[in-house]
Structure 1
Amino acid sequence: MSQADSYCNDFVKRFSYDRYLSALYAPDEARASLLALYAFACEIARIRELVNEPMPGEIRLQWWHDALSGTNHGDVMQNPVAQAILETIERHKLPREPFLNLISARRFDLYSDPMPTLNDLEGYCGETSSVVVLLACMILSGKPADRQVSDACGHGGVAYALSGLMQTLALQASRQQQFIPDEILKRHDVHASSLRAKVSDNGVKAIFKAMVAVSQKHLGDCETGLKGIDPTVLPAFLPVFQVELFFKEAEKDGYEPLHMTGGASHMQRMWHMWRTSRRLAKLSRT
């Protein structure tokens, strides 16, 4: 394992444990490439956490855009994640446009603009999350995704991203971010300031329930789309179905959407992923 691969392995294990676990279900020859992809996705997603103003974030995103488009004249290969993802792109002949679109979509994270509509939010989730599932499928299968795989990736990525956003409402409020679409707030007659409260009122709870239902619907559509699918791509979907642990938690009496929670334990995550792997394998054979 190269130093870059080792770095990506540890980085993903720390910041995206479900994706790290899922890579263990992949063939040995694909594992390092998957971890490079997931490290890249984590690196871009974390930029908002590392900057206090939009401009430094814009500079970081532009650096990544230049690095992946081949216009960066600095020593890009000194960055282990950049080295690993560039080598992965070349090794698997991956298209660069999805990576560049992901970087562009993450610019929304740097500002306090509200998400206008549910359609806009689903588009954002598609470009930042579904694309990662899709690229993982391409790494695993060694070929471009067909319509069935693409559709399953689309729904799965949106389910994964939406559930993640619903678990971090308190964090978003602390950053003056609003991923709950304005149209959803208006539909439930809730003011955006309610999302920054200490405790959820009935309106916030209704919105939370509605958004979780959207995520569940996408997950159900993803699962339906996996029937008879090429089994080689299944490890790419294992992180997606970890959202079921969140759904179970959110259904409990007294769950507070505006509080941060630790989530499921590592043991619970490992057990659920193992069960999911068996379930999806059976589904792919139907």
Structure 2
Amino acid sequence: MSQAFDYCNDFVKRFSYERYLSTLYAPLSARPGLIALYAFACEIARIRELVNEPMPGEIRLQWWVDALSGTDHGDVRHNPVAQAVLETIEQHKLSREPFVNLISARRFDLYSDPMPSLNDLEGYCGETSSALVLLAAMILSGAPADRQLSDACGHGGVAYAFAGLMQTLAWQGARHQQFVPVDVLERHRVEAGALQAKSSDAGVLAVVGEMVGHSKTHLLSCENALEGVDPAVLPAFLPVFQVELFFKEAGRKGFEPLEINSGASHIHRMWHMWRSSRQLAKLSAK
């Protein structure tokens, strides 16, 4: 791999360990592309953490749009993630539209607006998470996705994102973000401020319970759609099934969703990913 891809490999290993792990199950020829894709996603997702106000974030996002469209204001080759992702798009003949749509959806992150509805959140997760699974699957298969694979990617990405958002409620509260949809809060008669408390009341636990339930439903739909799928695409779904670790944690007595939690250990995640790889292989063989 070039220095740009080496940089991306270390970057993903640091900021998205489960995605890094999943690339080890992919053929050597596909790993650089997957690493570049995941580095791009991490780079865009981290912009909110790197800026104090929306405008600098908007400028960074626009730089990426310009870089992808070829109208960048500067040499993108000096940015190793941009260099790697542009080479990956060219090598695997990927459409640039999903990348631009992901950037556009991430503009929501820069502001403190509440997520209006569950449907809006599913749309956001589709653009930011499901699209990533789909692009990874296309890199692995070397072909456009059919309806079955697209359905699996759509549901898998939403399941992954929903679980991740419920796992990071404390971080969201500290940054005055609200990804929990307004209609879900209203359904359980919970005020948005309750999500920034130090501990959960019955209403907050009910809200988290509903969101975890939606994540489980999407994961089951993803699992059903993977029956008989091309086994070459399975590494794209390995990060998705890591949500099962969070489901287990959320089901434990005394679970507190408003506490900062680093999640499972690296060793535990490695073991669970190996187990998931075996389960997905059985689904694919049906």
TM-score range, shorter chain: over 0.9
Matched residue SS, 2:249:
helix
Q: How do residues 123-138 of structure 1 correspond to structure 2 at under 5 angstroms?
A: 123-138=123-138
- Structure-2 separation of matches of 1:262 and 1:95: 34
- Structure-2 separation of matches of 1:262 and 1:137: 28
| Number of the residue aligned with 1:27 | 27
- Structure-2 separation of matches of 1:199 and 1:249: 16
| Number of the residue aligned with 1:213 | 213
Residues 157-177 of structure 1: CA distance to partner in whole angstroms, max 9, x if unpaired?
000011000011111111111
- Structure-1 separation of matches of 2:257 and 2:145: 36
- Structure-2 separation of matches of 1:189 and 1:82: 44
Q: Does 1:276 align with 2:276?
A: yes
Aligned pairs, how many?
286
Cα pair 2:63 2:73 within 8 Å, conserved: no
Residues 51-104 of structure 1: CA distance to partner in whole angstroms, max 9, x if unpaired?
110000000000001000111141011000000000000000000000000000
| Number of the residue aligned with 1:45 | 45
Matched residue SS, 2:218:
helix
- Structure-2 separation of matches of 1:55 and 1:7: 27
- Structure-2 separation of matches of 1:262 and 1:187: 29
| Number of the residue aligned with 2:157 | 157
Q: Does 1:118 align with 2:132?
A: no
Displacement of 1:252:
0.4
| Number of the residue aligned with 1:142 | 142
The gaps in structure 1 that reach 5 residues or longer are none
| Number of the residue aligned with 2:259 | 259
| Number of the residue aligned with 1:199 | 199
- Structure-2 separation of matches of 1:206 and 1:256: 12
Matched residue SS, 2:30:
helix
| Number of the residue aligned with 1:90 | 90
Displacement of 1:136:
0.3
| TM-score normalised by the chain length of structure 2 | 0.99
Matched residue SS, 1:28:
coil
- Structure-1 separation of matches of 2:134 and 2:221: 16
| Number of the residue aligned with 1:232 | 232
The gaps in structure 2 that reach 5 residues or longer are none
- Structure-2 separation of matches of 1:22 and 1:176: 32
| Number of the residue aligned with 1:67 | 67
Paired amino acid for 1:225:
A
- Structure-2 separation of matches of 1:217 and 1:202: 22
Matched residue SS, 1:29:
coil
- Structure-1 separation of matches of 2:36 and 2:47: 17
Residues 169-203 of structure 1: CA distance to partner in whole angstroms, max 9, x if unpaired?
11111111100100011111111111111110000
Seq. identity, %: 75
Displacement of 1:262:
1.7
Paired amino acid for 1:86:
L
Displaced runs of 4 or more, over 3 A:
none
- Structure-2 separation of matches of 1:113 and 1:267: 37
Paired amino acid for 1:182:
V
